[in-house]
Amino acid sequence: MNYRHAYHAGNFADVLKHAVLCRVLMHLREKPAAFRIIDSHAGAGSYDLSGLEAGKTGEWREGIGRLRDAKLEPPVREMLAPYLDAVAARNPGGQLTTYPGSPALALGMMRPQDRLIACELEPKAHAALDRELRGDARAKAIAIDGWTALSAYVPPKERRGLVLIDPPFEQPDEFTSLVQGLETAHRKWATGSYLLWYPIKDLAAVTAFSRKLKRLGIAKLLQVELSVGGAADDTGLRGSGLVAVNPPWTLHDELKVLLPALAEVLGRDGQGRHSLAWLSGETSR
């Protein structure tokens, strides 16, 4: 499949990915020491929701559009506040016209001492990313293959931080690349935190991916999945997942509250489903 960021900006998969990303960043901010974010497949940085790509699919309406307008219970809204506030900051008029991608979200939550390396090889997306980050000394947009970046920039000198691996799934072997990329990076930086995003279309491919991750022998792997359902003849994306490596110790319990709410708000005709499980590690929690 082809999952170019611009066509799907702000959809349910972005909501899941970015809500979890913001929770992890909130935990990194709790300690005064600097941290670094490495975004291996950063995209353009932010997206015009009325532009050609996002306008063609309109997926954001059933993603961030639904979530922003939903009536949420106080604990859920509190957990989503960093994410929703960041989106609102990019839309000061109140109307959703811009969606911040992961580099923009990260930059909005970073402190003066923190740093971002945002990697994007596709020329047009890199040019847009460079414009997005230009002028902020905390961030660099680098034209480099995301898989190469995992070797080049890990471990960061800060020895604290997060690696976000969010490939476009343009190649048939992208699941294999995810496993190999994590293995390479984790060998160099075993204490780092990682977030791996993947689409759910071929259940057999996802099952094989999960098995391969388990075989890596990494101590803590938390798997999060969200499915929104859809018509039987719908060939679009209906589910996505994240694997959190060395997640913050509170993330599992936070997601136990957050995931049911996201499934309810984003599910189509009551078909929202979610799962949360340790592939390795704290299975007793």
Query: Which residues are CB-contacts of 186 (< 8 A; sequence separation ≥ 6)?
Result: 192, 194, 216, 218, 245
Is residue 186 a part of any domain in this protein?
yes
Nearest-angstrom CA–CA distance, 91 and 99? 8
Please report whether residue 285 resides in a domain: no
* Domain-embedded: residue 272: yes
Q: 59: domain CATH number?
A: 3.40.50.150
Q: Domain for residue 192, yes or no?
A: yes
Residues identified as active-site? 166
Residue 121 lies in a domain: yes
Q: 193-199 and 221-227: which strand pairing?
A: unpaired
pLDDT for residue 1: 42
* Boundaries of domain holding 54: 5-280
Nearest to 226 by CA among 185, 189, 194, 265: 265
Give the per-residue pLDDT at 232.
47
* 243 lies in some domain: yes
Its pTM stands at 0.94
Residue 281 has a pLDDT of 87
255 within a domain of the structure (yes/no): yes
- Closest by CA to 166, choosing from 263, 262, 44, 274, is 44
DSSP helix/strand/coil, 228: coil
Specify the pLDDT at position 234.
54
Residue with tokens 């279309």: 201
In a domain, 30, yes or no: yes
Contact (Cβ atoms closer than 8 angstroms) between residue 105 and residue 88:
no
What does the alpha-carbon distance between residue 259 and residue 16 come to, in Å, rounded to a whole number? 9
Tens of each residue's pLDDT in the chain, 285 residues: 444 677 889 999 999 999 999 999 999 999 999 999 999 999 999 999 988 787 778 899 999 999 999 999 999 999 999 999 999 999 998 899 999 999 999 999 999 999 999 999 999 999 999 999 999 999 999 999 999 999 999 999 999 999 999 998 888 899 999 999 999 999 999 999 999 999 999 999 999 999 999 999 999 999 999 999 875 445 578 899 999 999 999 999 999 999 999 999 999 988 999 999 999 987 644
Domains identified in the chain, total number: 1
